[in-house]
Amino acid sequence: MVHLITNLKNTKYYIYIITIASMLFWGMAFIWMKIVLQYYQPITVVTLRIIFSSIFLMFYIRLFNKSQKIDRSDYKLFLISALFNPFLYFLLESYGINYVSSTISAVIIATIPLFSPVVAYFSVKEKLSIVNVFGIIISFFGIIIMLVSKDLSLKADPKGILYLFLAVASALVYVVLLVKLTRKYSSVNIITYQNLIGSIYFLPLFFYFDFDSFIKVTPNFELISSLVFLSVLCSSLAFIFYATSIKQLGISKTNIFTNLIPIFTAVFSYFILKEYFTYGKILGIIIVVFGVFVSQINRKKT
């Protein structure tokens, strides 16, 4: 993998390749989560995922000599930011995916960059444009089409929907905290330390709630491979690729690519999980993605 990344850097398209790769990994994450949740409870899944990711990232920063020491004054910020992500975000996302289809989960999570301007408006008084608001309205309309039947009843479990929107909220709070950390530390170090802290947060819950059920499961290739993919590709390399893309392309250009996540999830869910697609679900995906795209185009111009 390291040799592949090195070779990609020698091509002029490498930044677009790794950006799309990060979106593909995050799109596939919802499918691999769905598979692993057939064997383990959500707390177990997330605990194993971030522990494996932490181990991989520690080897990564050692290999490339990218280790940074945390200043004592930043301990509190790291502890609080790790509380929102990975702890709350992954916990809520995992429970949401447990109740809702992979595609609907991906579409709801994909609204995170859509709401970023709202958070920026209240946290740093960044201007919120009419097009931002228009994009939010469009995307909500698309989500409603996906979630509500003709008789106005919900197609998806309300608990799953609630968990996923709470995951979005925790991710938005995390972004505000992350901005402060990125002024002093590299993305790789931030993710590594936050995953390590997150592991500490999760372990008591894991041993109290899930350990008995965990030891009863006999791991097979499907389970192990899905966990490895989640840890290495989704929780590690995808973040590294994404951070590189932001550095090269900027936040606005990079966030446009996030529109690909629910599309990747939808396509692979159809072939791997055999998810059934109605015209309403397809239309909802298109509308949500279009709403996010409208918001990002406006931010790019400003």
Asked if pLDDT for residue 157 goes beyond 80, the answer is yes
Asked if pLDDT for residue 301 goes beyond 50, the answer is no
pLDDT in tens, 9-21: 655 678 888 889 9
Asked if pLDDT for residue 106 goes beyond 60, the answer is yes
Tokens matching residue 164: 């996923």
Among residues 286, 287, 302, the alpha carbon closest in space to that of 251 is found at 302
- pLDDT reported for residue 302: 45
Q: pLDDT averaged over the chain?
A: 83
pLDDT in tens, 186-201: 888 988 999 999 999 9
Q: Which residues pair with 154 in a beta bridge?
A: 148
Contact 83, 89 (CB under 8 A): no
pTM: 0.81
Q: Which helix (H) or strand (E) holds 118?
A: helix 112-124
